[in-house]
Chain A
Amino acid sequence: MSPPTQQREKIARPPTAREHAVDRLFKWVTGIFAGFTALVVALIVILITKQAMPAILKYGPGFVVSRHWDAGKGQFGILPEIVGTMVSSTIGVALAAVFGIAVAVFLTEEFIPRWLESILKNVITLLAAIPSVVYGLWGIFVVIPTIRPGCNWLHEHLGWFPLFSTPLLSVGLLPAALVLTIMILPTVTAISRDAIAAVDPLLREAAFGMGATRWETIVGVTLPTSKRGIYGSIVLGLGRALGETMALAMLVGSANVISPSLFSPADTLAALLANKFPEAASPLDLGALMYAALVLLILTLLVNMGGEWIIRRDSTGNVPGKEAASK
């Protein structure tokens, strides 16, 4: 790209005093705009903590282990939401890891022609583009009717088993976790694909040269070499799963219960905020929700920082230092 013509006419000359002043001002402005990001992160933490303060002082740590949420009686506790968040995220991440790594391997190990590879890759990328609320709608009208007969068959015949101890009426933990799987699949696939593609082809060829089959190479060489990136992708997927709101608010059932059954309605922290916040009336109500928001914030910040840290450590196990930052 050529510089604008006026620039060319002047050819070379030192900058004027005015240009120096503009330069300094511009640098300041960019610095302030960039610093705004840090300011916002600090503000989020400070403001949510401040709003949650009345509830923190009133309920203390007991808030996290109490099971009751009754705005009328002024009782608040988020244990069912924490358990629901953990369980739905764990199921979602476990399934997404299986599918995500399978797709990542399928996309990198030359199973299919290039053009088919790029189609599959784009399909997975587009999965991430569909809005969460549309997945919720799809879950209600497609996933739940599809899995309900199978789930209720399991309940009738294996109802003694705690995981199947309730029937799937409509919304519940399992459909929520399944839709969650689809939503975090692109994250897991993209990051582990990059990690697998970065494995030195010489390692792979050495394994082939020693007579290993394709899968002996994948399981014995490729996956162990790229394991750090794969773990990182799973942790970052977990970070997304914990904070995912709309699909869960629509599918999980918002029931303040702890049940061992996969088919029982449950609740998650983000869904609790989405469902209760618009109707929060009293300041204490709002304070309790802010307390829940703070717990969610801390949880996701820790998980995301962990994921970034795992990915940024390079394969030799070095903690990211100055060399990693300059890359």
Chain B
Amino acid sequence: MTTNTHSTAALAAAPSIRKVDLEQLDRSLRRPRTLVSFCLSVLCGILALLAALPLLSVLLMLIWRGGARLSLALFTDLPPAAGMQGGGIGNAIIGTLLVVLLAALISIPLGVLGGVYLAEINPEGPGAAVVRFCAKLLTGLPSILAGVFAYTTVVLLTGRFSPLAGGVALALIMLPIIMLTAEEAIRSVGAEMSEAAIGMGATQTQVVWHILLPTAAPGILTGVLLALARGAGETAPLLFTMTFSDYWLTRHLMEPTASLAVLIFNFSKSPFEAQKEFAWAASLVLVFIVLVLTLGGQALSRQATKMSGL
């Protein structure tokens, strides 16, 4: 009885089973119940380890097969023609950077200000509910359909494949990520600060620009970085909006352009060993870009939670 009240008090103090000294429990594996429990624990552990295996395998293959081609020429030369040796993926790197930049220019203003509307201007209105619902739907939109959308709008209107069409397609994928994380980040700013500003005669606009956006900046930036990472890795939306090119981008900009993702797709089907190697090298560069953006976003979000915790 005493031990019982004792443990209840301990639980009330810290609601966690960590406090219980499990080692003192008698767990004989000869009993069927404990044996079943033990076996399930082992099985669960094996499944969890198996689930971690693919990432390890992908990273090892990237370093092994992609690293073999790593050189300065990789970043400065054009891809080799069929059956040729040497070359690089310089035009694809530039193409990817350009299209992601275009997508960012479209999606960041729309996403951040849309997030401001959802979190601050009119958070409870029916309009906000509709927008939030549509943003959720866009998150689940198959990326190839974003490409179909950009095709029916930009490509059919301008009559050509271009980085602009690719940028619109990627912006569609990045927009809901940015908007929903921006809303979340702005909402987590304490009400006292904006109330103090309003009390001093600030308009809502001034509150947004001087208080909410600077305070929520790390959270918003997290969303932006994660969205950029997602956009940089997308292939399907670029297949028939930007297509591919074997040459450098010219001044016209409105022409088919290479990208890392489409280069990997095209060269993976190639019968030539040299082109396959470039598919791996391009994957290494692409995964490096994506992982740097993702890890940067995660580090920022940890910092943001730490700041709001203070």
Contact = CB atoms under 8 A, between A and B. Distances in A.
Nearest to A183: B54
Contacts of B55: 123, 126-127, 130
B268 A136 contact: yes
Interface in A254-282: 270, 273-274, 277-278
A214 interface: yes
A134 to B, nearest CB: 5
Q: At the interface, is chain A mostly helix, strand, loop or mixed? A: helix
A293 B145 contact: yes
Nearest to B62: A134
Interface stretch (A67-75, A149-157, A160-168, A295-303): A295-303
A98 interface: yes
B18 A110 contact: yes
Nearest to A243: B142
B47 interface: yes
A300 B47 CA distance: 29
Q: Which 4 residue pairs of A and B lie closest in terms of their CB atoms, listed nearest first?
A: A243-B142, A131-B233, A304-B140, A102-B47
B221 interface: no
B137 A305 contact: yes
A75 B164 CA distance: 34
B98 to A, nearest CB: 17
Contact of A300 (B41, B117, B140, B201): B140
Interface residues on A, range: 35 or more
A157 B14 CA distance: 58
Which residue, A30, A208, A215, has most C-beta atoms of chain B within 10 A?
A: A30
Contacts of B129: 325
A3 B261 contact: no
Interface of A: 1, 3-4, 7, 11-15, 19-20, 22-23, 26-27, 29-31, 33-38, 40-41, 43-44, 47-48, 51, 98-100, 102-103, 105-107, 110-111, 120, 122-127, 129-138, 140-142, 182, 185, 189, 201-202, 204-205, 208, 213-216, 236, 239-240, 242-246, 249-250, 270, 273-274, 277-278, 290, 293, 296-297, 300-301, 303-305, 307-308, 325-326
Contacts of A141: 61, 65
A280 to B, nearest CB: 8
A327 B113 CA distance: 21
B117 A31 contact: yes
A3 B210 contact: yes
